Each structure stands twice: as C-alpha cells, then as structure tokens.
Amino acid sequence: MDVTNNTKELIVKMQSLKLKYTDLASQTFIDFYCQCKQGCDYLFPDSVKSSVTILHILEWFLLSVEKRSPYLLIELMWKDIIGPTLAEYQEDEKIEENLTTLFTQPELAEAVQNWDRKPRPDGGVTLTLRELLQDMTDLEQ
C-alpha cells in the first residue's frame, strides 16, 4: 500500500523539527519515526495502524539502538515498496540504509544514553527527549 497523504503531510511537519533538535539522537529518532509511519501504512491494516503511538515507535527505536540493528518488526516494515516513482523509492531506501548504519555506531548509543537531559550554561538542564516527544505529539494532533 502507498503512503497516505496524511502520513506524507505529517512527515513534512516532523522533519521540520530537525531545525530545533540538532543532536544526533533526536535527528535520528525523527528520521526513524518518519520511516515507521510509512512502514505502518505499508504493513498494517487501518485498525492496527491507528493504534500505533509515538511511545511504540520510541520503544522500537530504543530496541534498535540497543540491538545495533533494526528491530525485527522494523525490518518487516522496511520491506515496503514505497513511492510511486523510482526516485522516491531510492530516497526511502537511502534513509533506511543510513539508519541501519547509525544503529551500529557507538556514538548513537552514547547520544541516546544522554538524551534525557542536556546541561545548560546557567546550571539548569534541558529535557531534550521530553520536549521532542511533546513537540512530536503536538504535530500528530
């Protein structure tokens, strides 16, 4: 099944968050989230697709980071044939290959370990993961 127009619109909105969240963990998660939304369109019937939450996708991301390769469900999603054009399909494959490579990198695992908070110069902390999840949830509405 093709990616729905709703998913395409959501992906454009989510990708815009990369301007605000420039750290490796957030950038990678945003791409992963977008690929999962496309994969849900491909793999799941509407009744199942509608039950997938951002928390599910976060869990799949963390499992993939921990495993250092895409979680099995993600591998199934990535067997999709997305895009009515060859260029769209190739772009989709390129993103998936990049994510697969990033999962093997110790830098990503380290970034995820410190994703919950970033120290600020004033001595406080920024709750990066929490803020990202809130922004993503707001965009899903």
Determine contact, residues 59/47, Cβ cutoff 8 Å: no
Amino acid making up residue 87: A
Of 128 and 88, the structure prediction assigns the larger pLDDT to: 128
pLDDT over 70 at 7, yes or no? yes
User: So what's the pLDDT on residue 79?
Assistant: 78
User: Do residues 30 and 21 make contact, with C-beta atoms less than 8 angstroms apart?
Assistant: yes
Predicted local distance difference test score (pLDDT) of residue 113: 94
- Return mean pLDDT, the chain: 91
**DSSP string for residues in the chain:** -PPPHHHHHHHHHHHHGGGT--SHHHHHHHHHHHHHHHHHHHHS-HHHHTT--HHHHHHHHHHHHHHTS--HHHHHHTT----SSHHHHHHHHHHHHHHHHHHT-HHHHHHHHT-S-EE-TTS-EE-HHHHHHHHHHHHH-
Most confident of 8-22, 69-83, 84-98: 8-22
CB distance 89 to 81 below 8 Å: yes
Which residues fall within 8 angstroms of residue 80, CB to CB, at 6 or more apart? 38, 39, 42, 43, 92
Q: What pLDDT score does 83 carry?
A: 58
**Structure tokens belonging to residue 130:** 């929490």
Torsion 115-118-124-129 (CA) sign: negative
Question: For residue range 55-81, what is the model confidence (pLDDT) as tens digits?
Answer: 999 999 999 999 999 999 998 888 766
CA distance 96 to 80: 11
Q: What is the pLDDT of residue 43?
A: 87
